[in-house]
Structure formats: C-alpha cells, structure tokens
Amino acid sequence: MSVTKKNPDSSRRSFIATAAVAASAALVGLKSHSARAAGENLPHLSESDPLAKSLGYQMTAQNVDKSKFPTYKPGERCADCRFFQGTAGEKSGFGGCQIFAGYSVSADGWCASFNARS
C-alpha cells in the first residue's frame, strides 16, 4: 500500500503566507480607524525602508522601475488601491496603508502590492 505525503514545501509556503496576512491584519487592528483612515499622526513611509524597498514603493508612481516591477501599469497609484486608507482617489497628500502598518504613504505613490479598488 502506497502512502502519499503532502509536499512539505507547499505547506510551509501556505503557513508563511497565512501567518503574514494574519500578522498584517493584527497590526492594522491595533490602530484606531480614524487615525488610519486619515493617516494622521503617522510618519511618512521612506522609500529606503526595507519593506518599502522590497515592494518597490515609490512616493511618485511615475518613478517606478518598470524593469524590476513589470506589473506596474501607468495610472496606478496608492490613492486608487484597496489597501490605501486615506480618501479613495485622493489627489495628493498621505494616508494610512494596510501593507505598511504604522506609516502613511503618498497618495501618488505605488508599490508591488497595488490592488485596484473594486
């Protein structure tokens, strides 16, 4: 009788992905809704921050290196992303972000986690 084993790499990846989402959700839940929504009292995210660098965050979307981040499409920007917690479609300024908990991001910025609002 043959017993098949689950691929350990896929279960490890699944665990890491689930843990990352859970940790992000927990961090987001720690902030008050009004402060997150407006990005008030939150420091601005620096492009040199390690997480920001790994996701290609740029304060101005036009500066995205399209060779490193081919998923970028002209016109995409943080204010139009589902993770942006400022005013949807905001023209300029900063707002909270679910990806970068504890920081505000530029409404005109972009990162590889961009996901258009529905």
CATH number for 8-106: choose from 3.30.565.10, 4.10.490.10, 1.10.1660.10, 1.10.3720.10: 4.10.490.10
Written as tens digits, the pLDDT of the chain (118 aa) is 555 555 556 677 666 766 666 666 555 555 445 444 455 579 999 999 999 999 999 999 999 999 999 999 999 999 999 999 987 777 889 999 999 999 999 999 999 999 999 8
pTM exceeding the 0.75 threshold for the entire prediction: no
CA distance 102 to 100: 6
Report phi then psi at 68, rounded to 5: -85, -30
Residue-range domain boundaries for the chain = 8-106
Pair of tokens at residue 11: 């279960």
- String of b and e for 30-61 (b: at least 16 CB within 10 Å)? ebeeeebebbeebeebeeeeeebeebbbbbeb
CB 78 within 8 A of CB 97: yes
